[in-house]
Amino acid sequence: MSSKSHRREQKRAKILLKEVRKLQKRYASNLAEQHQKSLQDAIQALDNAMRGGGDIAEVALKLEQIAGKLFAPYRKSTFREYAESIAIAIAIALLLRTFVIEPFKIPSGSMIPTLEIGDHIFVSKFSYGLWLPFTQKKIRLGSGPKRGDVIVFVYPKNPDKDFIKRVVGLPGDSIKVVSNTVYLNNKPLTAKRGKKYTYREREQPDSLPIEQVCRVYYENLKGVKHRILIDESQPSKLSNWNSSVEAKQIERSWGPKVPPGYVFVMGDNRDHSSDSREWGLVPVKNIKGKAFLVWLSFGGGQGFRWDRVFVPIQ
C-alpha cells in the first residue's frame, strides 16, 4: 500500500473511532455484557492496527459492522438529522428577529435622501426595548429614543403597518414648522442649502416612475447632522405646519408640548412624507427599533445599487 493510501485509511479509521466511541459513551450501558465486550475488542483491534499491527481497512470494516448492528436502534435517520438542523436554524432566526435584529424594506420615498426606495435595512431591537413574544408588552431598555434617530414603529393609525421616520421632538419639546424651517423649543434648526436632487417615485406598482426634482439641505438637529429634501417647485401643504388645520387638530390632542411617552417624527423628504405633522405623535411603546444599516438596495426604477450595500444609516 502506498504511503498516500495508508494516510487515507488512517484518517478514515480515526474518524470512525471517534464516532464509535461517542456512541459507546452514550449508549453502551444499554447493551448486553457480551455485546459491550465485542464492541470494545473491535475498537481495540482498530486502535492496534492504526499503530502498525494489521490491515486497517479490514479491521475498520469489522468495527463498522459491529457498531452499525449494535447502535442501529439509537442512531437518528438522515431525515431526522436534517429536520432537527432545520428546526434549530429556524428557532435561532426567530429569536434573532424577535430580540436582536429585524430586516425591513423601504417601500416609499418619504426618507429620501437618507433611505432610497428599495433599500433593505436592519433594525436593532435592542436599542430601546424588547417586545415579549405573543404579547403586546414591551421591556424598556436604555434611555429611549434620541433626537435624530431613524426609527421603525407601528403606525398609530393602523397597527398592521410599520412606518420609518426620524425623531425630531422628544417629551417636553415644542415643535413648529414655518416655511420648511423646523423650530425646536422656539429656536430654528439650521439647514445649509445644497445641490439639486433628482429621484424616481412609484405611485403604483404597474406605473412608470415619476421623476421628482428637489433640493438637498444639510440640517443640524441639535448636533445630529443629516440631509433632508425640500421641494422648491411649489409650496407644500405642510411647509407652514404650525398654522395648518392639521397642526391645530393635532395640538389639541396633546397640548403645546410633546407629552411623556411620545415622540414627534418627520420624514427626511419633508414635502413628500406622511408623518407627525399629518397624523400626530408616536407612542414610544410603538417603536420597534433603531434603523442602523442598509445591507442591500434594489428598486425605485434604478435597479441594483452597489454603492448602497452595507451603508450605515445616519
Catalytic, 165? Answer: yes
**Assigned C-alpha cell, 142:** 436604555
Buried b (16+ CB within 10 A) or exposed e, 83-92: eeeeeeeeee
Catalytic residue among 125, 146, 165, 176: 165
Residue 314 in grid coordinates: 445616519
C-alpha cell at 118: 428599495
> Which three cell numbers, joined as nine digits, stand for 259?
407629552
- Do residues 297 and 305 lie in contact, with contact meaning Cβ atoms separated by under 8 Å? yes
Distance CA 116, CA 280 (A): 24
123 bridge partner residues: 102, 291
Q: Which helix (H) or strand (E) holds 79?
A: helix 78-99
Beta bridge partners of 226: 219
Q: Fill in the amino acid letter for 171.
A: P
Q: Which of 110, 127, 239, 276 is catalytic?
A: 110
- Residue identified by cell 420624514 is 267
Distant-in-sequence, close-in-space partners of 224: CB < 8 Å, separation ≥ 6: 146, 147, 148
Exposure string for 182-214, b = 16+ CB within 10 A, e = fewer: bebeeeebebeeeeebebbbbeeeeeeeeebeb
What would the grid cell of residue 107 be? 417601500
| Residues carrying an active site annotation | 110, 165
